[in-house]
Amino acid sequence: MFGEINLEENNNYEKWCEEWRKKFLKLNQEELKKKLPELEEEGDWLLIRHFGRKLGVHKEDGTIEALEDQEPLTCYERLNVYTLFGYVSPLAHYKNEWVKFDKLKDTAPFAGAFRKGIIEPFSRMFVCHTKELAEACEKLGGTRLPWSDTGYELKAFECIPVRFLFWEGDEEFPAQGNILFDASATDFIHGESVVTIAVIGLMRLANLAGIAMDRSAFPVF
């Protein structure tokens, strides 16, 4: 699923979003709010923030809209919200055990693609742009971390924190990026959705930093 996204692939994601929208309508919303205390109600909407962006899920028809800006809402962002709702376990809880993507439950089949489509582009995109990366993380409400040259913890969702770490290269070693997740991430959401969570975070950071997305990243925006 990595690499250039063609129209047919994008349509597939739209089809999955529509399937998940219908699944949402069958969920017990009161039980969902118990499993995800970050959910708030405002009129006809359930409110949730995805990398700081305020989204509303309509309680009656299941559609998702951005409520504070006019930027297009991608099918990947909507699918992240739907799959969070669909997969969250009632026993899911923050563990404070930080691991690489391939150490999360059931993510091994996606590990190579994650490195090629997320980690490697991240490592290239911010070379000589650590200041811009830090400023972008600050704009997203990130918490500065003491590890790496530029490291921040961001909230993909309140229940799924993500750590973006970046080391500037030198004459001996190339620049290197990494992304860590709490070990609980796949108790809240499907492992494949962790991929799109990472790329939405990378996209938001690139946009705020004024850096072009690496064309090898998945998906191409």
pLDDT by residue (tens digit) across 135-188? 999 999 999 999 899 999 999 999 999 999 999 988 788 999 999 999 999 999
Q: Whole-angstrom Cα distance, residue 7 to residue 81?
A: 22
pLDDT tens readout for residues 76-123 = 999 999 999 999 999 999 999 999 999 999 999 999 989 999 999 999
Question: End of a domain among 63, 87, 111?
Answer: 87
Return the percentage of the chain with pLDDT > 90, whole number.
83
- 194: in domain: yes
- What CATH code is carried by the domain that includes residue 200? 3.30.310
Look at residues 17, 116, 14 and name the one whose alpha carbon lies nearest to residue 57. Answer: 17
- Looking at the structure, do residues 107 and 200 belong to the same domain, yes or no? yes
Helix%, strand%, coil% for the chain, nearest 5:
40, 20, 35
- Looking at the structure, do residues 111 and 37 belong to the same domain, yes or no? no
- Domain span at residue 135? 98-209
For residue 169, what pLDDT is reported? 84
- 182: in domain: yes
Question: End of a domain among 87, 110, 134?
Answer: 87
- Looking at the structure, do residues 68 and 126 belong to the same domain, yes or no? no
> Which range has the top average pLDDT, 1-5, 10-14, 28-32?
28-32
- Looking at the structure, do residues 26 and 65 belong to the same domain, yes or no? yes
Structure tokens at 56: 């509303």
CB 107 within 8 A of CB 221: no
CB 40 within 8 A of CB 49: no
- Looking at the structure, do residues 74 and 134 belong to the same domain, yes or no? no
